[in-house]
Structure 1
């Protein structure tokens, strides 16, 4: 029998439960628990108070009654789709009456909406967020979080109208359209090995097409934050965004297959043999292409989170495309939040990411300023020799990266605008594009 002691994972009850023995505890739906001891199907848990901080009591509960407490975006009933896509999904078998999902919404302060399949079609509800920072739908009572609201609605509709709400079921034909077998691809040459993946030049055997294959451990690929980036990647289509070609997820490791550009990443390109011979117009052309790609992501409410020269790929005729979209995040409201860990390029992220974990539509604007510094220094590393804490202290004191020798005063002025401490004072990518500072090649 497996046993683990001292666990601190938070769980929530989705149903009421009456104790059947002295060492068990009774509870209502939407109560919070801290997992302390796991032994088979009986868990010892700490029951937390309404503030989810202090322990009210301790006892055993059946594991089947609890689910792990997660952010909305990690819940099994959340999906990154719009109203029309939600309707199409819920009306497609095997989904049925009662199937539901929560999706992003641009028209609510909460940033979420609920779609439910009913007898007469699909009903859509705005999830409201009030001044007390509680969530509600229509005339129903407010709840502290979206998860609690869903628990309440599932119980209420079951009692009042016999509507059994069940999370949407992913439709195989939609999910598997990217899926290809390992046998469709062959590995030609190992290009580089990173912290979480190995990258190969490969061949798509069916049409003898050369592709880039990122090989990644299946457990890493299944992480929610990684899958969020992949799902965003699937919906992107722009000439300056690398194209996702296929996924091979049935085997371990997983293959992420994208288009192949022969010149490699921009950082190595700038530092290589061709870098010193690039003209001012060519450097501007590089910046212009990446700006176009970022302006497209801005319209899509997507933040890259890993913008740097290392994550821009170069092809023939100086074609440049933004890659590594597994870093991407969707902005639901004006801001969202991340945990800044080693997978993020910390020196390229603005101070609010480090201090508050805050992402906004202006996050990549700061990074774009750093990216410009890289271009006009031919791939030099920003803040070389400084730790993250030193960089942040210097930024607070007013320090900014110096003007690169290959950079004009107008471009450096833009870089300084990108490095405004307050995100609202930075220009949007649309505003940067309107300045027309980057002249295209004739």
Structure 2
């Protein structure tokens, strides 16, 4: 360390020049802090080369960055920021302790600067927007008060006028800053304890095995899909985030009777299949944040069975309490369930037998391990052929002789391979119970392979065609709800499908429908998908703005979803079956829409018609569609 250096350490710097962020924009640099400058050098060569320097007098803000759910594509996961002139320098430290030392040391050096900011941005500038307040102007004023001495564990300021950011409330005046003699230290974060919902057998040396029901401590939240955890023996490793849940009474996932994402129709099917007196589950109500107890009894009179749905009600008192029967109030839902397991107290039966999680298969993981997207061909075993699509042959296979997977061999000339391989790294991070999971790709040979979750009952279009006449309206609406929930997740993550249709959804052996092939249409080379403007789209599922301007958005996916709902409620008919594509373009442009299927009630057809508004901005979001479908399914439950 040179004689006047205060700190010196190898850290990682994010490029300030690139608009889009990728792993290539993160460079390892040797950072040196002196009384006058923050300088960074090329750390990859033996001979140190100066790459940049910031005059400390020009620095306006030094602070940690609240990461939220942004995946950091480098090994250092503790970001902080240095704001100077019109620039924001993002630096990534290897540990919380390292970051704290750098931030506190630099704050001490700049405290006399004349240009210290009053407000700053606590989250990243990424993809042309501030993630904390969604402002799209890089030099926009900050949205949270800056503390020259302490950390940022405080409530944000009110939103900037004209910038509608929900949830920002006025905070009380901050406490006076500590005197110079006081030691400024960050509070030690509390350990987060989680419970394993499923067994997980780590396949890589970096993974940690999970045992269902056991407790673990979260060491680091690497990204939204993978955590680093520690078991009771002190062993650490990566675990999928959707296999664990926080250990608090408010988190119902840990209880065997809670069935997240199960609607009224699915609950009734499961309870009838079990056919046990007092069979019950707790599920989400149609109103967000509310819950319903679904209860099965055989003694409904005259030898018949029935299912009752009871809303869990909440008192207006402080603290709030929960109840099913007016006389019996409880501080938590688990306490309420435990009481009614022993006392009917106004219900048709006691809650005798929890139905739901027993035997339910574990969810898919985003890849087979953390940041593992390249799969070795030698790890794959090829089994029977499942079919062939526009990309090539699809086979059932196994990864490392254990995990069943679907393997698509991409035939030469079927897609823009290089572009897809880059996008696959992004697509792997998309993980939801209603999306077919992409596990990885084999790119080191030709043909390349795409490895995905295996869905036993195949494509949704064939599934409904082969079972025509066996569906109720509620069954078909449940199928539509599954798809809308998958699309709601894509919409939330600003990912456009571009080819949503029944043929691009798959069904597993639990009859759960999942959205597949999202975003793939951009990479297909296929004449039937090519329009006059050279962009690929399936005409009969596409809205006017795609015909006319090749303009894709989540709202163009909403139009396609309306057509998919029509496919579902006609049990697999071809939209505009008697009209060629050029006629469909003309008909839709003139305002013609698909007719109401016999199995679709008027309120279900209303949802389809909302999806087919000519103006994209008048179409509902997928979040709104999911609520509308849930309301129809729940009825007055």
The TM-score bracket by the shorter chain reads 0.5 to 0.7
- 2:566 equivalent in structure 1: 373
- 2:63 equivalent in structure 1: none
Normalised by the length of structure 2, the TM-score is: 0.42
Match of 2:588 among 392, 395, 399: 395
Alpha-carbon distance change, 223 to 245 in structure 1, aligned in 2, over 3 angstroms: closer
Match of 1:231 among 391, 400, 425: 425
Higher relative contact order (Cα pairs below 8 Å, separated by 6+ residues) = 1
In structure 2, C-alpha distance between the alignment counterparts of 1:425 and 1:312, rounded to whole Å: 26
In structure 2, C-alpha distance between the alignment counterparts of 1:285 and 1:98, rounded to whole Å: 57
In structure 1, C-alpha distance between the alignment counterparts of 2:455 and 2:126, rounded to whole Å: 45
- 1:48 equivalent in structure 2: none
In structure 1, C-alpha distance between the alignment counterparts of 2:576 and 2:375, rounded to whole Å: 42
In the TM superposition, residue 285 of structure 1 has moved relative to its aligned partner by: 1.0
In the TM superposition, residue 348 of structure 1 has moved relative to its aligned partner by: 0.9
Match of 2:453 among 241, 246, 259: 259
Query: Structure 2 matches for 1:282-297, cutoff 5 A?
Result: 282-297=475-490
Identify the range of structure 1 (260-269 vs 209-218) with the bigger mean alpha-carbon deviation.
209-218
Is it true that 1:386 corresponds to 2:604 in the alignment?
no
Is it true that 1:246 corresponds to 2:473 in the alignment?
no
Verify the 8 A CA contact 2:495 2:519 in the aligned structure 1.
no
SS in 2 for 1:290: helix
Alpha-carbon distance change, 344 to 267 in structure 1, aligned in 2, over 3 angstroms: same
In the TM superposition, residue 117 of structure 1 has moved relative to its aligned partner by: 7.4
Normalised by the length of structure 1, the TM-score is: 0.59
Deviations 1:266-307 (A, max 9, x none): 0010111x3321222211111111111111111111111111
SS in 2 for 1:276: coil
Query: Structure 2 matches for 1:286-325, cutoff 5 A?
Result: 286-325=479-518
SS in 1 for 2:633: coil
Verify the 8 A CA contact 2:381 2:401 in the aligned structure 1.
no
In the alignment, structure 1 segments of 5+ residues that lack a partner are 1-75, 104-112, 129-135, 139-173, 330-337
Q: Which has the higher helix share?
A: 1
In structure 1, C-alpha distance between the alignment counterparts of 2:464 and 2:408, rounded to whole Å: 23
- 1:268 equivalent in structure 2: 462
- 2:546 equivalent in structure 1: 353
Alpha-carbon distance change, 343 to 406 in structure 1, aligned in 2, over 3 angstroms: same
In the TM superposition, residue 418 of structure 1 has moved relative to its aligned partner by: 0.5
RMSD (CA atoms): 4.1
Deviations 1:64-115 (A, max 9, x none): xxxxxxxxxxxx966456xxx898x34488699769xxx9xxxxxxxxx998
Deviations 1:337-376 (A, max 9, x none): x997585323212110121111122111101100000000
In structure 2, C-alpha distance between the alignment counterparts of 1:425 and 1:319, rounded to whole Å: 30
Alpha-carbon distance change, 126 to 380 in structure 1, aligned in 2, over 3 angstroms: closer
In structure 1, C-alpha distance between the alignment counterparts of 2:486 and 2:554, rounded to whole Å: 14
Alpha-carbon distance change, 316 to 127 in structure 1, aligned in 2, over 3 angstroms: closer
Match of 2:405 among 201, 211, 218: 211
- 1:183 equivalent in structure 2: 378
SS in 1 for 2:372: helix
SS in 1 for 2:440: strand
SS in 2 for 1:407: coil
In structure 2, C-alpha distance between the alignment counterparts of 1:339 and 1:181, rounded to whole Å: 40
- 1:277 equivalent in structure 2: 470
Deviations 1:110-154 (A, max 9, x none): xxx998779999x969969xxxxxxx988xxxxxxxxxxxxxxxx
In structure 1, C-alpha distance between the alignment counterparts of 2:410 and 2:422, rounded to whole Å: 16
In structure 2, C-alpha distance between the alignment counterparts of 1:207 and 1:406, rounded to whole Å: 44
In structure 1, C-alpha distance between the alignment counterparts of 2:507 and 2:453, rounded to whole Å: 11
Alpha-carbon distance change, 292 to 184 in structure 1, aligned in 2, over 3 angstroms: same
In structure 2, C-alpha distance between the alignment counterparts of 1:250 and 1:213, rounded to whole Å: 15
Alpha-carbon distance change, 364 to 437 in structure 1, aligned in 2, over 3 angstroms: farther
Verify the 8 A CA contact 1:284 1:440 in the aligned structure 2.
no
Verify the 8 A CA contact 2:405 2:453 in the aligned structure 1.
yes
- 1:415 equivalent in structure 2: 608
Verify the 8 A CA contact 1:288 1:439 in the aligned structure 2.
no
Alpha-carbon distance change, 212 to 340 in structure 1, aligned in 2, over 3 angstroms: farther
